[in-house]
């Protein structure tokens, strides 16, 4: 059986990828940091087939030990400080985990892997690297212009991945994924924050939704679709980088409107308040990806569209919040 190690196993993508690899008969290892990590419980309960191993992207020797123990065929580096707003507040931590963490994992692979023991590597790169976009839509050749400590750290991780591939012949791929969401998305990200608030407002548990800038546009896809592209990248003859996106973009405002309409609320503006607290020192105004290369080479295409995605998330939050309130949705 093939085996895979996933960093960031407790995050949205880690969970979808673990489920997908398990369905393909992989042995799945998930790297967990810290003692008594509370999020490890979710994995232990919902995905008992994942073997959790202790390691930290800030500690090279722990990564070497994890690779020696798990002997993976594939490593998916999804672990990161992944929230842009937090990255402005903890820039050094972000550079260390999101940026240098990639370098440490590649060094560990170089040491533990080798001709007899090849390890394929996937790096979770991000559309945030395009930042103040130089062209639209963005593809694999679009120059980067990151706008946050998260974006700059991801650019470092991306170039380091390409560099290790070219310098040492590692099978290393960078997937430049545009925003991808799901019912498992963290509540701090705007889609989930909105769908959860909409459910609570509908159920009378909350009366307003406080947001930042409503004008930025994002290319939002479904995380369950995107993890399949990660896997497909590691199954090719040659390692390459790919943009993964839907090719459609919507403003935060449109997303908010759609979420409210999904529960039959038309006067949605009455519930919105804007606050500086949720504005960023520098914003990424427009992202929209061109994934023609992935379509052609990987045969990958998104299956869930934006409207279905928001409906799915609202429905999930209605069920969750109704259960909390002890009611039928
Ligand atoms: P990002 O694209 O990785 O930064 O993903 P987010 O979901 O965190 O943010 C998407 C966009 O929504 C950004 O342009 C944010 O500035 C904007 N936004 C507006 N209000 C909010 C808010 O209250 N929370 C978050 N997370 N983003 C917001």
What sign results for the dihedral spanned by CA atoms 246, 256, 259, 187?
positive
* Pair 253, 123 in one domain: no
Phi, psi of 292 (to 5 degrees): -60, -35
Q: What is the pLDDT of residue 281?
A: 97
* Pair 227, 275 in one domain: no
* Pair 92, 236 in one domain: yes
Residue 97's domain comprises 3-180+221-244
* Pair 38, 123 in one domain: yes
* Pair 205, 254 in one domain: yes
**Known active-site residue 226:** no
Q: CATH number of the domain at 44, please.
A: 3.40.50.720
* Pair 156, 210 in one domain: no
For residue 232, which of 175, 181, 183 has the smallest C-alpha distance? 175
- 294 is a domain residue: no
CB 1 within 8 A of CB 72: no
Ligand 1 atom closest to Cα of residue 126: 3
Q: CATH number of the domain at 255, please.
A: 3.90.25.10
Residue located nearest, by CA, to atom 3 of ligand 1: 84
- Using alpha carbons, list the distances in angstroms from residue 243 to 89, 110, 228, 276: 28, 25, 13, 32
* Pair 13, 143 in one domain: yes
Which helix (H) or strand (E) segment holds residue 74: the answer is: strand 74-77
* Pair 168, 192 in one domain: no
For residue 186, which of 9, 12, 8 has the smallest C-alpha distance? 12
The preferred substitution site among 190, 210, 219, 226 for testing ligand 1, maximizing ligand atoms within 8 Å of CB, is: 190
**Known active-site residue 61:** no
* Pair 128, 274 in one domain: no
Q: What is the pLDDT of residue 4?
A: 98
* Pair 107, 198 in one domain: no
- 37 is a domain residue: yes
DSSP codes joined into one string, 181-247: E-TTS-TTSHHHHHHHHHHHHHTTS---EEES-S--EE--EEHHHHHHHHHHHTTSSS---EEE--S
- 292 is a domain residue: no
* Pair 122, 84 in one domain: yes
17 Cα distance to chain centroid: 11
- 23 is a domain residue: yes
Beta strands in 115-179 (DSSP E): 120-126, 172-177
Each residue's pLDDT tens digit in the chain (329 positions)?
999 999 999 999 999 999 999 999 999 999 999 878 888 999 999 999 999 999 999 999 999 999 999 999 999 999 999 999 999 999 999 999 999 999 999 999 999 997 777 999 999 999 999 999 999 999 999 999 999 999 999 999 999 999 999 999 999 999 999 999 999 999 999 999 999 999 999 999 999 999 999 999 999 999 999 999 999 999 999 999 999 999 999 999 999 999 999 999 999 999 999 999 999 999 999 999 999 999 999 999 999 999 999 999 999 999 999 999 887 66
CA–CA distance, 218 with 194 (Å, rounded to integer):
15
- 75 is a domain residue: yes
- 236 is a domain residue: yes
**Known active-site residue 126:** yes
* Pair 253, 193 in one domain: yes
Residues with CB under 6 A from ligand 1: 84-85, 128, 179, 188-190, 193, 211-213, 216, 218, 252, 278, 280, 283-284
Contacts 24+ apart (CB under 8 A), 109-114: 109/67, 109/75, 109/164, 109/170, 110/164, 110/168, 110/170, 111/64, 112/64, 112/67, 112/68, 113/67, 113/170
- 213 is a domain residue: yes
State how many domains the chain has: 2
CB 219 within 8 A of CB 248: yes
């Amino acid at each position: 059986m093939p085996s895979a190690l996933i960093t960031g196993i407790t995050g949205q993508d880690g969970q979808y990828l673990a489920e997908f690899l398990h369905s393909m008969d992989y042995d799945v290892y998930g790297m967990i940091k810290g003692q008594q990590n509370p999020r490890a419980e979710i994995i232990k309960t919902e995905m008992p087939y994942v073997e959790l191993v202790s390691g930290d992207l800030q500690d090279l020797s722990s990564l070497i030990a994890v690779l020696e123990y798990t002997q993976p065929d594939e490593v998916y580096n999804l672990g990161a400080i992944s929230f842009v707003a937090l990255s402005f507040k903890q820039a050094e931590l972000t550079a260390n985990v999101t940026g240098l963490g990639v370098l440490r994992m590649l060094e560990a692979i170089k040491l533990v892997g080798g001709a007899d023991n090849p390890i394929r590597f996937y790096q979770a790169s991000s559309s945030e690297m395009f930042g103040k976009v130089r062209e639209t839509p963005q593809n694999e050749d679009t120059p980067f212009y990151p706008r946050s400590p998260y974006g700059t750290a991801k650019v470092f991780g991306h170039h380091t991945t390409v560099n290790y591939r070219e310098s040492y012949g590692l099978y290393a791929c960078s997937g430049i994924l545009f925003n991808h969401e799901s019912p498992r998305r963290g509540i701090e990200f705007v889609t989930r924050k909105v769908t959860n608030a909409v459910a609570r407002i509908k159920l009378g548990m909350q009366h307003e939704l406080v947001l930042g800038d409503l004008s930025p546009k994002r290319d939002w896809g479904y995380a369950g679709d995107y993890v399949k592209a990660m896997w497909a990248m590691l199954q090719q003859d040659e390692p390459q980088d790919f943009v993964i996106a839907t090719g459609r973009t919507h403003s935060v405002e449109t997303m908010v409107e759609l979420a409210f309409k999904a529960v039959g609320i038309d006067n949605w503006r009455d519930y919105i308040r804007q606050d500086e607290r949720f504005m960023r020192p520098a914003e990424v105004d427009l992202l929209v990806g061109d994934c023609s290369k992935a379509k052609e080479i990987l045969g990958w295409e998104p299956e869930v569209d934006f409207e279905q995605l928001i409906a799915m998330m609202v429905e999930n939050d209605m069920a969750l919040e109704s259960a909390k309130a002890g009611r039928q949705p």
